[in-house]
C-alpha cells in the first residue's frame, strides 16, 4: 500500500478520501506532485516530519533542503532521519528561511512551510510575518513550472493571526497568469484551527 507521512499525518492513497487537517491536506497535494529524483525544500524543519516525508518522496536520487533557525529542530530532525537511514538525502541549514535563495541555488519542485513554533519548544520563538513573506516571495520564484509551495498557517496566537492575514494578502496579489492559489479553511472548525494555502506555478508561463 503506497503511503506518505507528514508529522502525525499519514496519507493512504487507496483509502476513501477523508477531510482531515491542514497538514494532511498539504501532504496529500505534495505527494501527488513530487516524484523520485526531485529537489525540494522543507522551509520550517521543526521536528522533522515534513523533512522525512519529503525524503521518502524524492528517493535515492532526489534531494531535500531542510531549514530552521533552532538547533533543537536540526538535532531532532537529524536523529529522526538517521533512524530511517535517510540522512544523506538532506542538506541542513541553520538559518532563517528568508535566506532561501542563498541556501538553495537551483530551481525546486516543491517548498513546504509549517509556520508557528517548534512543537514542544519555546513558544516565544515563532515564525514572523516579515521573514515569512520574504521566504514565500523567494519560494514562489524558485519553484519550477508546475511546482508548488504549501503553507500551513496557525492563527491561534497573535503572530499566527498576523501571518494568516499577510499570507492571504500575498497570495491574492500573485499574478493569475503565473500562479494558481488555493486557500483551504475548515469553516465549521474551532477558532485558531490551522489553514492551508497551496501555491502552484502555472506550467505555461507568460514570456518575460
Is residue 69 domain-resident? yes
Q: Which three cell numbers stand for residue 207?
A: 514570456
pLDDT tens, position by position, 8-26 = 455 555 578 888 899 999 9
pLDDT tens, position by position, 111-154 = 999 997 555 554 556 688 999 999 999 999 999 999 999 999 99
Task: Kindly report the average pLDDT of the chain as a whole number.
Answer: 90
Is residue 38 domain-resident? yes
Q: Of 92, 91, 52, 40, whose CA–CA distance to 71 is shortest?
A: 92
Pairing of strands 143-153, 179-184: unpaired
Is residue 207 domain-resident? no
Is residue 28 domain-resident? yes
Other C-beta atoms lying within 10 Å of the C-beta of residue 86: 18
Q: Which residues of 1-29 are buried (b: 16+ CB within 10 A; e: fewer)?
A: eeebebbebebeeeeeeeeebbbbbbbbb
Is residue 129 domain-resident? yes
CA–CA separation, 167 vs 2, rounded Å? Answer: 32
- Residue entry with cell 513554533: 117
Torsion-angle region of 167 (φ positive above 0: left; ψ -120 to 50: alpha; else: beta): alpha
Is residue 208 domain-resident? no
Share of the chain above pLDDT 70, in %: 88
Is residue 54 domain-resident? yes
The model's pTM is 0.90
Q: Which three cell numbers stand for residue 69?
A: 533557525
3-state secondary structure of 152: strand
Mean pLDDT of 162-172: 96
CA–CA separation, 123 vs 92, rounded Å? Answer: 23
Q: Range of 157's domain?
A: 3-201
CATH number of the structural domain spanning residue 31: 3.40.50.150
The domain total for the chain is 1
Mean pLDDT of 76-82: 96
Amino acid at each position: 500500500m503506497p503511503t506518505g507521512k507528514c508529522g502525525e499525518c499519514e496519507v493512504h492513497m487507496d483509502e476513501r478520501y477523508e477531510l482531515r487537517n491542514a497538514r494532511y491536506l498539504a501532504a496529500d497535494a505534495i505527494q501527488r506532485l513530487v516524484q523520485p529524483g526531485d529537489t525540494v525544500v522543507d522551509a520550517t524543519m521543526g521536528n522533522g516530519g515534513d523533512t522525512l516525508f519529503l525524503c521518502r518522496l524524492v528517493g535515492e536520487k532526489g534531494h531535500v533542503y531542510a531549514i530552521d533557525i533552532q538547533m533543537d529542530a536540526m538535532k531532532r530532525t537529524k536523529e529522526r532521519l538517521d533512524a530511517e537511514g535517510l540522512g544523506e538525502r538532506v542538506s541542513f541549514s541553520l538559518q532563517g528561511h528568508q535566506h532561501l535563495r542563498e541556501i538553495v541555488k537551483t530551481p525546486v519542485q516543491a517548498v513546504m512551510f509549517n509556520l508557528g513554533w517548534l512543537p514542544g519548544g519555546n513558544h516565544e520563538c515563532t515564525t514572523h510575518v516579515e521573514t515569512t513573506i520574504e521566504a514565500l516571495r523567494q519560494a514562489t520564484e524558485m519553484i519550477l513550472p508546475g511546482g508548488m509551495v504549501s503553507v500551513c498557517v496557525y492563527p491561534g496566537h497573535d503572530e499566527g493571526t498576523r501571518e494568516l492575514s499577510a499570507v492571504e494578502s500575498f497570495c491574492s496579489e500573485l499574478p493569475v497568469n503565473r500562479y494558481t492559489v488555493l486557500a483551504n479553511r475548515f469553516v465549521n472548525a474551532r477558532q485558531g484551527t490551522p489553514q492551508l494555502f497551496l501555491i502552484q506555478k502555472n506550467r505555461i508561463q507568460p514570456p518575460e
